[in-house]
Amino acid sequence: MEIKYVDGWPQPYRLPDAEPYWKALQSRQLTYQKCHACNDAVWPPHSLCPHCGAESLQWEQASGRGRVYSYSTVLRGPTAAWAEIAPYTVGFIEMEEGYYLFSQINAAAPEDIKIGAPVTLEFIERGEQILPIFSLTGS
Ligand SMILES: [Zn+2]
């Protein structure tokens, strides 16, 4: 698979099921799927509910609030664009709605990031794509 770069940033590979997610991000809205049969959050996007098999998946707007579930700080970026922002932290956010989103976690000092720390959604432009990025709540 060919990765497309814009301004040095790799652009996401957009799977058809996730297309509404990428589109909503361009309007700075974070969305996720919710199953209206079993009421569970579904992430990553599917055509059928992975919990109960129902086809009644709907797109909902996320609150943007969550907690750090796991993280890793990258000291040397894999490409020039990433190297320029290193050190940076990525990890899983346990979202208030009950799903886990992989994202960048922003902090003035990476050592301030802790498991369980509350984080708040922000947005960042990377090439043509607007992406979610989380900051420590109240910082
Ligand atoms: Zn379901």
Q: Tens of pLDDT along 12-43?
A: 988 999 999 999 999 999 999 999 999 999 99
Q: In whole angstroms, what is the distance from residue 87 CA to residue 110 CA?
A: 8
Name the residue ranges covered by the structural domains of the chain: 14-61, 64-139
Q: Does domain 64-139 have CATH number 3.30.2010?
A: no
Going from the Cα of 76 to the center of ligand 1, the distance in angstroms, rounded, reads 40
* Residue 124 DSSP class: E
Going from the Cα of 74 to the center of ligand 1, the distance in angstroms, rounded, reads 36
Going from the Cα of 68 to the center of ligand 1, the distance in angstroms, rounded, reads 25
Going from the Cα of 96 to the center of ligand 1, the distance in angstroms, rounded, reads 18
Q: Is the pLDDT of residue 1 over 80?
A: no
Q: In whole angstroms, what is the distance from residue 61 CA to residue 83 CA?
A: 32
Going from the Cα of 46 to the center of ligand 1, the distance in angstroms, rounded, reads 11
* Whether the bond into 87 is cis, omega within 30 of 0: yes
Host H or E run for residue 80: helix 80-85
Q: In whole angstroms, what is the distance from residue 124 CA to residue 79 CA?
A: 18
pTM score of the predicted model: 0.92
Going from the Cα of 9 to the center of ligand 1, the distance in angstroms, rounded, reads 35
* Residue 63 DSSP class: -
Contact 36, 75 (CB under 8 A): no
